[in-house]
Amino acid sequence: MKTLSFTVGLLLLLAASYCTAMPHGVNEIAPVRCCFKFYTGGIRQAEIINIIKTHSSCREKGFVVSTTKGNEICVSLNLKWAQRAFNQQQADEV
């Protein structure tokens, strides 16, 4: 009986440690940011705090624009104003 209790306890301990480790592994593999809908309008340069490209494993490529109002807006890589804002930010970081 003690052996059975010990075995069940050990299995529960292993299962619990596996379950708590699983989300960390999944999160490290998952893309950071992906866009599924894209804003087609413009955003003034003065309103842009940060602009980053979506993760390389995302199905749809784009930019994520962080604004002064606290919004994060997905826009297409093809928008000229977004390309200019991204390039300007890259130049400012150097």
The residues near 71 (Cβ < 8 Å, ≥ 6 apart) are none
- The answer to whether residues 61 and 74 touch, using CB atoms and an 8 Å cutoff, is no
- pLDDT value of position 9: 45
Q: What is the pLDDT of residue 18?
A: 39
Q: Which residues of 31-62 are buried (b: 16+ CB within 10 A; e: fewer)?
A: eeebbeeebeeebeeeebeebeebeeeeeeeb
pLDDT of 94: 78
| Tens digit of each residue's pLDDT, the chain (94 residues) | 555 454 544 444 334 333 333 343 444 455 468 999 999 999 999 999 999 999 988 999 999 999 999 999 999 999 999 999 999 999 988 7
DSSP designation for 41 = S
- Separation between Cα atoms, residue 77 and residue 19, nearest integer Å: 38
> What is the pTM for the complete model shown?
0.65
User: What pLDDT is stored for residue 5 in this prediction?
Assistant: 54
CATH topology for 32-94?
OB fold (Dihydrolipoamide Acetyltransferase, E2P) (2.40.50)
pLDDT at position 50, please?
A: 96
